[in-house]
Chains A and B, each alone.
Chain A
Amino acid sequence: MLVFDLTGPMAHFRKYYTNTSALTYGFPPRTALMGIVAAVLGFERDSYYEKLDRGRFAVAVKVPPRRLFQTVNYVRTKREDLPLLRRLQRLPGTQTPLEFLFPGGEYRALRFRVFFGYPDGGLVREAAARLREGRPCFPLYLGLTECLASASYVNLFGPRDYEPLPPGTPVALTSVLNAAHLEKVDLPAVSAARLLRERAPYAFGPGRTLRPPVAVVYEAGGQPLPVRLRVPAYRFSLATAGDGETVAFLEG
């Protein structure tokens, strides 16, 4: 199981159902995590959807993000707009409000901690080696090419180096949760949490068609969430991050 951090000053993970405004999730959804692993390993666009769908992914939001809109001009490629544009005698492009994530509080960069496992351990070890050496095959982005990202290796765990917690155990979950795996939120234990539930992309089919999205639940400020799950959670002890992380994989 490979653990690495993705950092960058800005991010945009487009919600699949937005059109006139481009809204963002507060975390990289599973398809974005897949794309990042694919970029590290050098898989071309559209070539890895089936292969990496066999992987296991979890993501924890380490820096509370805040949201900021910037309107951007995109080049028009649609014929319908042309009569209007010709009358205006200029090319304003198509203006799209684009919602970005920025680091909240005093943080200078966003930070997402990614957990990645795969049936073929060689692939995980290659990704780990590339991240340790700062040698991703392709540049990494937080959702858009203009949101350049850096990845830093955190740890590589063997199958017995992390602790599975059986379903139903009360856990303080630090990862984004697939809502299908939620049994209950331990509300009395929550002091000031802001829970978000969103439908997020899960996987691509052939030709970049979106497979049915899944509902996910997470705490907006990146605080641990006291929950009981229908699936095992996993406890990772990390020297760098105090008491470690308890995560649930999006696949269960």
Chain B
Amino acid sequence: MGTITQNSELLFLYDAKMCNPNGDPDDENRPRFDPDRERCLVSDVRLKRYIRDYLEEKGHTIYVTKAEGVVQATDRIKQVLGKDDVSGADLPALLARLIDVRLFGATMPIKGAKKGEGEAVNLTGPVQFAWGYSLNRVQMVDSVTISSQFATREQAGQGTFGKDYRIYYALIGFHGVISARRAQAMLARADGNEAAATSDADIELLDEAMVNAIPLAATRSKIGQYPRLYLRVVFTDGETFAGDPREDLTVNPDQNLRSVKELTLDLTALGGRLVRFKERIARVLVFQDADLRTTAAGREVKAAGWLAELLGADKVKTIERT
């Protein structure tokens, strides 16, 4: 499989129950929050961290990793290549090894051929995510103080208190795009080396990571998160984008929620958007969790079956969690 030639648009919904989907490091690690609209926020970086950790666990080499300890970005590049003298000519070799850079791009400190030239290589990856936000109004858990058996100082003689902020329930939506033109630009930067540009196989790994990564990232603040819906709309060309699908979604009810079983997700308007682009949609990959109830035009449907009605059964393919 070669470099991708078709654009995709992604919709990814996962939920967070009694946990902290993404803390703000400068705000006592409180969940990122838009107080005016009562929406929980999750950065694109948090989502990409799940994907990177999953891919690393599967044995892929990752550029932005913690596994090698504290390193400077330059040292990380040297580790990956196993040599000290890294120049712009090594870019194809780096890209061929680093799947996260092939997907998301990176800023890599690589010296150019001439002195003072090309201090950093900026690569915009074909896969980009907007920040996620909750489709429902979210409430914070009131009780936030926790006690610890461990002391902060050696002579303290007693444990210490800390803060632990959580939310009750958020259904979080992400929008992403995959740009074939960006992958082709990456291929050009890698001197036409196909192993160094985003391939269909890379994107299939991304699909796998999207539906599997989050439940595996079960640290204390992240237990209680499950993927609920993943749609990847693949277009027939490398230029089409249909726009942010989250604008089309409504959660009923949209407040005081505590669990996925208390809500239904209305997909009706999303259908309108996809039908407008029907001729240019090659296929849609769908994952839907059994606990998420979805409706369209007033009746309960499964996303895959409903999309097959709208776009044709041959265009819809379902993905399962492994």
Contact = CB atoms under 8 A, between A and B. Distances in A.
Contacts of A133: 240
A185 interface: no
A44 B185 contact: yes
Contacts of B44: 145-146
B299 interface: no
A135 interface: yes
Contacts of A82: 70, 72
Contacts of B24: 70-71
A79 B72 contact: yes
Interface string A131-146: 0011111111100011
B244 A150 contact: yes
Interface string B58-82: 0000001010001111100000000
A42 interface: yes
A75 B107 contact: yes
Interface stretch (B83-91, B122-130, B152-160, B161-169): B122-130
A8 B246 CA distance: 11
Given A75-B73, A97-B26, A139-B182, A8 B124 contact: no
Interface in A24-82: 42, 44-45, 66, 68, 70-73, 75-79, 82
B241 A150 contact: yes
A42 B181 contact: yes
A70 B130 contact: no
B70 A148 contact: no
A133 B240 CA distance: 8
A85 interface: yes
B45 A91 contact: no
B41 interface: yes
B36 A70 contact: no
A145 B128 contact: yes
Residue from A72, A73, A85 having most chain B Cβ neighbours under 10 A = A72
Contact of A71 (B26, B105, B185, B247): B26
Nearest to B32: A70
B36 A102 contact: yes
B70 A86 contact: yes
A151 B107 CA distance: 27
Chain B: interface size category: 35 or more
A77 B26 contact: no
B74 A71 contact: no
A109 interface: yes
B309 interface: no
A221 interface: no
A125 to B, nearest CB: 17
A135 B240 contact: yes
A244 B50 CA distance: 46
A66 B39 CA distance: 14
Given A90-B70, A134-B241, A73 B25 contact: yes
A77 B72 contact: yes
Given A77-B73, A147-B130, A150-B241, 10 more contacts: A9-B131, A70-B24, A73-B25, A76-B73, A79-B72, A82-B70, A85-B70, A109-B247, A139-B177, A146-B44
Interface of A: 7-10, 42, 44-45, 66, 68, 70-73, 75-79, 82, 85-86, 89-92, 95, 97, 102, 104, 108-109, 130, 133-141, 145-148, 150
Interface of B: 24-27, 32, 34, 36-37, 41, 43-45, 64, 66, 70-74, 105, 107, 109, 120, 122, 124, 128-131, 133, 175-177, 179, 181-182, 185, 237, 239-244, 246-247, 277
10 A-B pairs with least C-beta separation = A71-B26, A150-B243, A148-B130, A146-B44, A135-B239, A77-B73, A139-B177, A145-B128, A139-B179, A77-B109
